Chains A and B, each alone.
Chain A
Amino acid sequence: MASVAFDRVVKRFGAHTVIEDLTLEIEDGEWLVLLGPSGCGKSTLLRMLAGLEDLSAGEIRLDGRVVNRLGPPQRNVAMVFQNYALYPHMTVRENLAFPLRMRRLRRVDRDERIQAAADMLGLGGLLERKPAELSGGQRQRVAMGRAIVREPSVFLMDEPLSNLDARLRAQIRMQIAELQQQLRTTTLYVTHDQVEAMTLGQRVAVMDQGRLQQVAAPLELYQRPANLFVAGFLGNPPMNRWVVQLRADDDRFELGLAGQWIPLPGPPPAEAQYVGLRPEALVPPAPGAPRIRVRVDAVEALGYETLIHFADRQGLDDGAMTARWPTGVELARTGDLVELAPDLAALHWFDRDGRRIAGDGRS
């Protein structure tokens, strides 16, 4: 196991900067998820740690040792690729044995480790098969196995579940979570899937356009997004975000939402430029609660919850205004005018640059 440090890392491809001055530390044994949209640089970061890409500037350290100039074989990291990259001409056993043969392990030790990994991942009956004879889920497990047998100091996983269907993905996600408990090896896990990030990461690093946006525990990210990007990227549907409209009368403040005014319990932060509210914080009003009336544009009844999209986009920073209602509330229909009570304790405030000012996100 090892700690990992990216220190002011820059990566350019020609004139295009993919990673911009990124600093990030991962503790020994920590499981960190790199989350971000396609093209944000997260896979490039992983590949630089693996030694598959050179750095344009900065340093990468493994256990305090700078590894910039070391080739992939010298770094003792193992990687699970998005397309698994199993060697097609080798059986599962030979695939698992390959990294061990490269390290000149004795045959007895090789067999022992292969058996242990096969038992852990349920690959026992597949050892003599070639990758072409395996299902997607089985290939994925073999790829994990090939990483595990190495007993590397760091695991790198590059969207390892993205080629699987939704059901299998959920199943293997649970298996990976169990493995994580057993192995306790430092792991960098790249994904664009927020469910994977929330369920697997001890910490999640959100990236966009080559920059680190926020590094925090999953719930912290959700409840206290550092900026508008994180607020919009995390959560499905994303946080509703409006440009702040305020009116003040003596020391009473009112916030404009969807063209209507809602009294605030106290003064908003002075620099507030944007305000956000999670869909679950727009609830059917209790008697006497401040409310707004908005017209329903579309309803998605998902069984365990209902998503309601509203037609009124006045003041919205991005996207449509959406509410998430629990099952049991009387269903609205398209075209209905419904009343919503914004949970004012759950407001998120952001400044003109989109940086978080205040709000604890509880809802």
Chain B
Amino acid sequence: MNGRPILPMIATYLVLLAVTLVFFGPVLFMLVGSLKPDELVLAEAASWRGWVPESVSLENYRSVFERVPFGSYLASSLVINGTIVGLGLVVNAFAGYALARLQWWGREAMLAVVLAILVIPFEAIAIPLFYQLSALGWRDDHLVQAIPFVANPLAIYLFYSFFLGLPKALEEAARIDGAGVFRTFVAIVIPNSRAAFASVAIVTFLFHWGIYLWPLLMTTSESVRPLPLGIATFYTLPPLAWGDILAFGVLMVLPVLVVFVVFQRWFVAGVAATGIKG
């Protein structure tokens, strides 16, 4: 101890504990509920027993795999998110770099447009986009669920602000050393922007992992539907089994946790560098 007064410290920790419970409580409830017999999940939800697994059972998990094609949902989610993140990193990094470093007519206006699009929620354009793509006959596959999200104004802005902070002399040195603009970007800028790429990848992945409305509008085949639509099938599949839903939820969260834990170090560095909040 470094001589700090004890009471304010206890108060601080109590507040932190309360905040942790608010955020972590639902996750704990989901994990515990997924391990309980189905009939006890809601019955014990209001008491402390709801938060403590008395008899651990993987029955709900077995049931998930029996009742719905979980593997197919997971594969679809991975393909869709992989496309969004993979293509998105390329497209948005190029756009961010062009806005941050290249001199071209209309650059300021384009930056303003990108910032303006940031505040438009996807739900506002979902229906027009649905009609537009339906008119083209493009529905019900993985790509149609991914392509509209590849170009992402938030990702462009994050790359833009990160690239602005890179020392310009590095790129100038590369230009003088004989590298063209593209080569400078690939050989010098990208390797020194790993933190930005990691944080944009994680933010994009997290955001789209749970997306529901767009796949619902654009797909009818189970084989191309992602996890969020998979979990919804339980509500239309009698009997309504909360244990199964919670087990599905845990399985759905696991890949996100893995991605986050693996890339956490870069993510924190990236947050510091790009100034992402929340």
Contacts and interface: CB of A to CB of B under 8 A. Distances in A.
Interface centre among B176, B179, B183, B188 (most CB of A within 10 A): B176
A102 B178 contact: yes
Contacts of B188: 87
A1 interface: no
A267 B140 CA distance: 101
Contact of A50 (B176, B187, B192): B176
Interface centre among B175, B178, B183 (most CB of A within 10 A): B178
Interface string A70-83: 01110001110111
Interface in A33-88: 50-52, 71-73, 77-79, 81-83, 85, 87-88
B178 A99 contact: yes
Interface in B180-202: 180, 183, 187-188, 191-192
A87 B191 CA distance: 10
B172 A87 contact: no
A78 B170 contact: no
Contacts of A52: 172, 175-176
Given A85-B167, A89-B191, A73 B173 contact: no
Contacts of B176: 50-52, 72-73, 77-79
A52 B171 CA distance: 10
Contacts of B39: none
A81 B170 CA distance: 9
Interface string B231-255: 0000000000000000000000000
A261 interface: no
A72 B175 CA distance: 6
B169 A85 contact: yes
A103 B192 contact: no
Contacts of A78: 176-177
Interface string A213-244: 00000000000000000000000000000000
Main secondary structure of the interface of A (DSSP, over half): loop
Given A71-B175, A89-B192, A98-B174, A83 B167 contact: yes
Contacts of B175: 51-52, 71-73
A333 B192 CA distance: 58
A81 B183 contact: no
Nearest to B183: A102
B146 to A, nearest CB: 30
A309 interface: no
Contacts of B191: 89
Given A85-B167, A88-B192, A99 B172 contact: no
A87 B170 contact: yes
Contacts of B172: 50, 52, 72, 79, 81, 85
B169 A146 contact: no
Question: What 4 A-B pairs have minimum CB-CB distances, sorted nearest first?
Answer: A102-B178, A99-B177, A85-B169, A85-B173
